[in-house]
Chains A and B, each alone.
Chain A
Amino acid sequence: MFEARLVQCSMLKKVLEAIKELLNEATFDCSDAGIQLQAMDNSHVSLVSLNLRSDGFDKYRCDRNLSMGINLASMTKIMKCAGNDDVLTIKAQDNADNVMFMFESQNQEKVSDYDMKLINLDQEHLGIPETDYSCIIKMPSGEFARICRDLSQFGESVVISCTKEGVKFSAAGDVGAANIKLAQTANVDKEEEAVTIEMQEPVTLTFACRYLNSFTKATALSPQVQLSMSADVPLVVEYKIGDFGHIRYYLAPKIEE
């Protein structure tokens, strides 16, 4: 049987927010190590990779590996019924065709349970190659969300250009052109406010705004975001999830014709 207990169910609400714009359904692979999800969007332009380690949960039991095919709109309906401070327990029997979500209020005076049908998804498991990235940029996640939102007013694409000096985000279209430059921060009081760049080689790549904006739905999960870039390989946008693990988005660059 599978059972996972989470004292603050807001984390799962945020995870769902972070994936439901890109994916209609997904398989949650549960094992002793934790819960993993890996899926490409319908157009095979982006991939979501979620890893929640079992030791992050308040209680975790997984006797046999279990793949739960879940319609994310259905799961969103159920998670909307939970209060942010509710204690969540997810339960499924081995080989079950349903999964149960139980929400308990902090004072345990209200207990709700929701049974959700699982769906059969024939999803491929993909191996993500180890890549040495030419540039790794760490920056406040709110700043990245702001930049993506601002630049998407100017064009469908954002050019990200990283050098030792800093990172430049650019967009151009009918209105005109926009450039936002961020330098590495010299001194910051809080680590989460820092912009840091590790650069082996300068890189310039072009990406679709629409996907970058979808990735920023994960902003609530982490104060920092990490962008990893190399020429001709997908961009990786990573948000750490506290004690649990991470959500990573891979995005294929646009190619010059």
Chain B
Amino acid sequence: SCTQGRLDGFFKVL
């Protein structure tokens, strides 16, 4: 089974 990843960390807060 797998868990849903998140986008936090991929995008940088400007």
List the interface of chain A (C-beta within 8 A of B): 40, 43-47, 124-129, 157, 206, 208, 233-234, 250, 252-257
Q: What is the chain A residue whose CB lies nearest that of B11? A: A126
Query: CB distance B7 to A254 under 8 Å?
Result: no
Interface centre among A40, A127, A252 (most CB of B within 10 A): A252
Residues from chain A with a CB closer than 8 A to the CB of B6 are: 43-45, 252
Q: Nearest-CB distance from B1 to chain A (Å)? A: 6
Q: Nearest-CB distance from A237 to chain B (Å)? A: 14
Q: Nearest-CB distance from B14 to chain A (Å)? A: 4
Q: How large is the interface on B (under 10, 10 to 19, 20 to 34, 35 or more residues)?
A: 10 to 19
Query: CB distance A126 to B4 under 8 Å?
Result: no
Query: CB distance A208 to B12 under 8 Å?
Result: no
Query: CB distance A252 to B13 under 8 Å?
Result: no
Q: Nearest-CB distance from A153 to chain B (Å)? A: 19
Query: CB distance A126 to B12 under 8 Å?
Result: yes
- How far is B6's CA from A255's CA once the two chains are assembled, in angstroms? 10
Which of A43, A127, A256 is the one whose CB lies under 8 Å from B11? A127
Residues from chain B with a CB closer than 8 A to the CB of A43 are: 4, 6
Query: CB distance A46 to B7 under 8 Å?
Result: yes
Q: What is the chain B residue whose CB lies nearest that of A211? A: B4
Query: CB distance A125 to B1 under 8 Å?
Result: no
Query: CB distance A125 to B3 under 8 Å?
Result: no
Query: CB distance B7 to A47 under 8 Å?
Result: yes
Q: Nearest-CB distance from B7 to chain A (Å)? A: 5
Given contact pairs A45-B7, A252-B10, A257-B2, a sample of 19 additional A-B residue pairs in the complex whose CB atoms are under 8 Å apart: A40-B7, A43-B4, A44-B6, A44-B7, A44-B8, A47-B7, A47-B11, A124-B14, A126-B12, A128-B11, A129-B11, A157-B2, A234-B7, A250-B10, A252-B5, A253-B5, A254-B3, A254-B5, A257-B3
Q: Nearest-CB distance from B10 to chain A (Å)? A: 6
Q: What is the chain B residue whose CB lies nearest that of A255? A: B5
Query: CB distance B5 to A126 under 8 Å?
Result: no
Q: What is the chain A residue whose CB lies nearest that of B2? A: A254
Q: What is the chain B residue whose CB lies nearest that of A208? A: B4
Query: CB distance A234 to B10 under 8 Å?
Result: yes
Interface centre among B3, B5, B12, B14 (most CB of A within 10 A): B5
Residues from chain A with a CB closer than 8 A to the CB of B8 are: 44
Residues from chain A with a CB closer than 8 A to the CB of B12 are: 126-127, 129
4 closest A-B pairs by beta carbon, nearest first, are A252-B5, A126-B11, A254-B2, A127-B12
Q: A44-B7, A46-B7, A252-B7 are in contact. Are A125 and B2 (CB under 8 A)?
A: no
